Amino acid sequence: MDLGRLQALPDASKITSGMTAGGVSSGSRQVLSTETTVVFPPQEINDLRAALLRDLSGRSSEVPLLIQPVEPVAAPQTEATLANGMEDYTRLQRRILLATLILSAFAVVVASFLFDRSTALSLAVGALAGMLYMRLLARSVARIGGDKRSVGKSQLLVPIVLVLAASRLPFLEIVPSLVGFLLYKPALILQALTDR
């Protein structure tokens, strides 16, 4: 049953006589259909439930409201609110990239003191690849909306190229490069904790 037919009915309490197990009234109107799913607003559900209970019991009785009607609240989204949201997103991007840069610089300095230069260089290359990955991902997420509905896949090439470069180039090591690449994760966690 479509919503147009339901709205054409003057009142849900008029659907009271001739209900059969198949859901068809004695008239020619189809009241309930097992083939389609119709979503009724809460007030109409309560009216239909009351009409069905009155019909089945043979007497008129008040049925308490099981679902309270909710007034729809529509917040109009204007260009100003959308622009403000994009400004907030841009600021968040910059804070995350700055946190990743600071954490990566600290990790590279510590690695240069604790390990050899090759390990520190691999960590730095991985950290730069991680920042590039974050930037490409943020740019792809910013484009969502309008006609685009999904995130692009171009940022997935960054870790693949990093692993290939670390396996082919003798001065890069794979494990420190991957650890450097994953340094954006702790920066995201720190940013989430500081935003609370």
143 and 50 in a common domain: no
171 and 100 in a common domain: yes
SS3 content of the chain, % helix, strand, coil (to 5): 60, 0, 35
* Chain segment 103-153, per-residue pLDDT in tens: 999 999 999 999 999 999 999 999 999 999 999 988 888 877 666 777 778
155 and 114 in a common domain: yes
C-alpha angle 102/106/110, rounded to 5°? 170
Give me the pLDDT at residue 59, please.
Answer: 59
Q: What is the distance between the alpha carbons of residues 5 and 140, in angstroms, rounded to a whole number?
A: 44
Domain membership flag for residue 69? no
Q: Which residue range is the domain that position 22 belongs to?
A: 3-57
19 and 89 in a common domain: no
Cβ-based neighbour number of residue 75 at 10 Å: 6
Domain membership flag for residue 65? no
89 and 26 in a common domain: no
121 and 37 in a common domain: no
139 and 96 in a common domain: yes
189 and 104 in a common domain: yes
Please indicate, yes or no, whether the overall pTM of this predicted structure exceeds 0.75: no
Domain membership flag for residue 39? yes
126 and 39 in a common domain: no
Arithmetic mean of pLDDT over the chain: 75
Domain membership flag for residue 29? yes
Domain membership flag for residue 66? no
Domain membership flag for residue 40? yes
Domain membership flag for residue 67? no
Give me the pLDDT at residue 5, please.
Answer: 47
Q: How many structural domains is the chain composed of?
A: 2
Among 10-24, 38-52, 83-97, which range has the highest average pLDDT? 83-97
Domain membership flag for residue 179? yes
Nearest to 135 by CA among 87, 174, 176, 101: 101
124 and 180 in a common domain: yes
In sequence order, the 6+-apart residues with CB closer than 8 A to the CB of 90 are none
Q: Count of H helices and E strands in the chain?
A: 7, 0
